[in-house]
Amino acid sequence: MKTKKGTIDEKVNDQAAAAIQRGIDEKLGIMEIRSLNGIQIKQQEEDIFRITASTSDVDRDEEIVEPSGVNNLDFYLKYNPVILFAHDHWTRPPIGKAVAGQVKPRSLELDIEFAPTPFAQEIKSLYEGGFMNSFSIGFIPVKREYTDEGIAVYTEFELLEVSAVSVPANANATIQRALEGACQKGLEFPIMESIIGRNESKRSKPEPKGESAEKRRILSLADVYLNQGEKQ
């Protein structure tokens, strides 16, 4: 039978051991991540990249995919959190996985980990070196509206995957390397926005008329889903 004093001593010892372990982890650059099923794992901090997967800005296809419209983020993170390269799920395996995610007022953010495969590590090195910076989402539209200017706004969608890309449709869907560096120097996000601009859909030259094949595919899918909803 444990005495009260023995119980207190054990508790103090446990707390001390935990504090020592946290100190060791901090020195090694290890952080703790809580998975969706409650199991805690430890991960090297430098292996996790925070990215902006999508924002509510007008993209280069003159469309808006509202981050708040994602209807399956928990399901995506728990069951199939794939990160692809250039939306290619036919010829290449995933290059990574999303380990956490959150929807903010104007953005969808993910914490991602690159796979230990040679190609995935090559892509990771391109992001680390600043040779690649952008991401893009693959999704199925569920609900779509139009602004007075004729811009399509996807207010609900199913997230299928997130891809590492060289040139994204949404210019603001990027790795948060530059933003984090600015915050470390004491710059807050609104100030950072005023310095670099929000990069809305302003262009120096008008783009040629016509729709890309990807845009036509998405609009076609949207029409199918919307028509199904109207018939029900």
Q: Go through the chain and tell me how many residues it has.
A: 232
- Cross-strand pairs, 144: 154
**Choice among 56, 107, 134, 136 that is catalytic:** 136
> Distances from the Cα of 180 to the Cαs of 119, 147, 174, 188, in angstroms?
26, 33, 12, 10
Residue 161 a catalytic site member: yes
**Choice among 45, 87, 89, 156 that is catalytic:** 87
What are 90's two structure tokens? 């036919």
Q: Determine contact, residues 110/118, Cβ cutoff 8 Å.
A: no
> Distances from the Cα of 38 to the Cαs of 49, 78, 223, in angstroms?
21, 11, 39
As to burial, measured by CB atoms within 10 angstroms (0-12 exposed, 13-18 middle, 19+ buried), residue 99 is: buried
Sequence-ordered strand ranges (E) for the chain: 30-34, 40-44, 48-55, 63-65, 82-85, 96-103, 107-114, 134-146, 152-165
Distance (Å, whole) CA 108 – CA 105 = 8
Residue 207 a catalytic site member: no
As to burial, measured by CB atoms within 10 angstroms (0-12 exposed, 13-18 middle, 19+ buried), residue 226 is: middle
Residue 163 a catalytic site member: no
Which amino acids are annotated catalytic? 87, 136, 161
